């Protein structure tokens, strides 16, 4: 008779699986709560104490860490000396292990979890059994995922055992399972310790979707989600309508959410190729949409739209006139949804905007041979703290416009320049290898919209006076920039020449 050891926290579909094992000649060894569930269901089990000849101790912390368990798991069946040892010590081989671990993840996701509770949900015996069984996969079947119950049972019913190919696959999954489990524990305890630069970085993600393709159609791609999901994220969005998101859609939508998070008043962000092509704000959402559209009616075609208010019918009817890839909002009025859903491919997503300022974590970027990690650029800035460095002083109205432009420019790729007024971006120049070219692009986009209210934001300081001179020649009346160049004085003198009010923030917002 074959022997299976079963000890699970997640007992979903457990009983029919174990009953199937029994029906195919397995005797069942079980522990604690798992044994209780099986006994109540009428499945005959052997207590773990009857195997180990030792009681559970320390409130269950020690019950399976025993040679009668791990000897039965690790003995190589093809080695006579191993089998002789088992016989000499009266150790019964264990042929299948079904174990999933204490709910550590679920515990630490609770809002007010105490450290002591988290510690008590670190499984020790479970991972040990999983690893022993997985190491000896040539002889032992290890099951850590209830999604594998049916396949394992089907093979046992058909052939009396699982195939070596299946055991190999399950062993690899088992080690991924324990690695991810340990990674979460490592992250949690490292955070408790307050250490920002551990000598080993252990992160874990779960496969959410295999993409049709990546950035281009010849590239394979996979979407993984943080094991501790973020609420304010495109990966946590509720997709109400439209076809699946592509690799590029997800990147654009992510950047749109990062940008819209900056604004409190009714605001609309139009994102294209991970650059904002138009940002508008107003007294209501429709007005904000009109201004975002007016900012760049050409580039918005095929764009990703993020709105920070529930979409109403008037705004929906205007968006419906355009080809858009994605619309993300806190929600949609029923009549607004009905209008937008007429386009079968338009993706409509809702995200919990109440969580926009919560759970802001480090971000990682891959490089060949490694990765970079940094804090997100979510610095809370107050324009009243900025320093005016010119003879002309900015008015309060200009400062509000500069603050709007400053929020916008941090989401444009460097070198980045934003020309704006208090209502919308007028022109955005981004991703150029020199700052003057970005400025020229922004001014060209703005065109005749540059008036006495126009201001300019630069994501980094001016290395020369040329940008300020060009801005002055084209009607810009106020400028915000980080300052800190050894040639700051050239820009200041140029601003004084054109009567421009210029403020410095002391902080730059590169986005590469």
Residue 374 backbone dihedrals phi, psi, to 5 degrees: -150, 165
Q: What one-character DSSP code corresponds to residue 355?
A: G
Q: Specify the 3-state DSSP secondary structure of 96.
A: strand
| N- to C-terminal Cα separation, the chain | 63
Determine the Cα angle at 304 with ends 211 and 398, to 5°.
145
Which residues face 206 on adjacent strands?
225
Q: What one-character DSSP code corresponds to residue 241?
A: E
Non-local (6+) Cβ contacts of 350 within 8 A are: 237, 238, 240, 328, 329, 330, 331, 332
Structure tokens at 104: 């550590």
Residues catalogued as catalytic: 135, 273
Question: What whole-number distance in Å separates Cα of residue 186 and Cα of residue 285?
Answer: 44
Please name the residue ranges forming H helices in 14-79: 14-23, 32-40, 48-52, 67-74
Q: What one-character DSSP code corresponds to residue 248?
A: H
Cβ–Cβ under 8 Å, residues 54 and 43: no
Residue 66 CB: number of other CB atoms within 10 A? 18
Q: Specify the 3-state DSSP secondary structure of 307.
A: strand
Q: Specify the 3-state DSSP secondary structure of 67.
A: helix
Which has the closest alpha carbon to 318: 307, 107, 237? 307
Peptide linkage before 415 cis (omega within 30 of 0):
yes
Determine the Cα angle at 328 with ends 409 and 441, to 5°.
30
Which has the closest alpha carbon to 69: 86, 81, 82? 86
Question: What whole-number distance in Å separates Cα of residue 324 and Cα of residue 304?
Answer: 6
Q: What is the 3-state secondary structure (H, E, C) of 394-409?
A: CCHHHHHHHHHHHHHH
């Amino acid at each position: 008779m074959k022997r299976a050891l079963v000890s699970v926290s997640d007992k979903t579909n457990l009983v029919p699986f174990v009953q199937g094992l029994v029906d195919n000649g397995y005797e069942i060894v079980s522990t604690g709560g798992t044994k209780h569930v099986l006994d109540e269901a009428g499945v005959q089990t052997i207590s773990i104490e009857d195997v180990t000849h030792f009681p559970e101790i320390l409130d269950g912390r020690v019950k399976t860490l025993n040679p009668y368990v791990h000897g039965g798991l690790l003995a190589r069946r093809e080695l006579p000396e191993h089998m002789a040892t088992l016989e000499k010590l009266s150790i019964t081989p264990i042929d299948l292990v079904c174990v999933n671990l204490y709910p550590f993840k679920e515990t630490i996701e609770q809002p007010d979890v105490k450290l002591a509770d988290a510690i008590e949900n670190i499984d020790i015996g479970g991972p040990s059994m999983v690893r022993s069984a997985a190491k000896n996969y040539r002889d032992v079947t290890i099951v850590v995922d209830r999604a594998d119950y049916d396949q394992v049972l089907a093979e046992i019913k058909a052939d009396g055992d699982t195939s070596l190919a299946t055991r190999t696959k399950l062993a690899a999954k088992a080690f991924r399972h324990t690695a991810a489990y340990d990674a979460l524990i490592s992250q949690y305890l490292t955070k408790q310790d307050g250490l920002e630069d551990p000598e080993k970085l252990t992160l874990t993600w779960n496969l959410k979707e295999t993409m049709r393709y990546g950035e281009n159609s010849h590239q394979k791609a996979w979407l993984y989600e943080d094991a501790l999901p973020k609420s304010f994220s495109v990966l946590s969005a509720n997709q109400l309508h439209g076809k699946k998101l592509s690799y590029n859609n997800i990147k654009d939508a992510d950047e749109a959410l990062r940008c819209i998070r900056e604004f409190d008043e009714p605001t609309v962000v139009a994102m294209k190729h991970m650059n904002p092509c138009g940002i508008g704000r107003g007294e209501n959402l429709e007005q904000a949409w009109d201004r975002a559209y007016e900012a760049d009616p050409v580039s918005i075609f095929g764009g990703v739209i993020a709105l920070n208010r529930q979409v109403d019918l008037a705004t929906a009817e205007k968006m419906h006139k355009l080809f858009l890839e994605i619309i993300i909002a806190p929600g949609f009025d029923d009549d607004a949804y009905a209008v937008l859903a007429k386009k079968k491919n338009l993706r409509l997503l809702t995200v919990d905007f109440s969580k926009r300022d919560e759970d802001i974590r480090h971000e990682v970027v891959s490089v060949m041979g490694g990765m970079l990690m940094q804090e997100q650029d979510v610095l809370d800035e107050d324009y009243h703290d900025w320093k005016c460095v010119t003879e002309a002083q900015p008015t309060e109205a200009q400062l509000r416009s500069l603050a709007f432009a400053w929020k916008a420019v941090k989401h444009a790729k460097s070198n980045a320049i934003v020309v704006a007024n208090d209502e919308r971006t007028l022109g955005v120049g981004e991703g150029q290898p020199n700052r003057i070219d970005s400025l020229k692009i922004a001014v060209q986009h703005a065109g005749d919209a540059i008036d006495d209210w126009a201001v300019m934001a630069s994501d980094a300081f001016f290395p020369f006076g040329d940008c300020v001179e060009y801005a002055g020649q084209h009607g810009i009346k106020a400028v915000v920039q980080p300052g800190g160049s050894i040639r700051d004085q050239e820009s200041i003198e140029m601003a004084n020449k054109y009567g421009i009010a210029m403020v410095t923030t002391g902080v730059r917002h590169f986005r590469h």
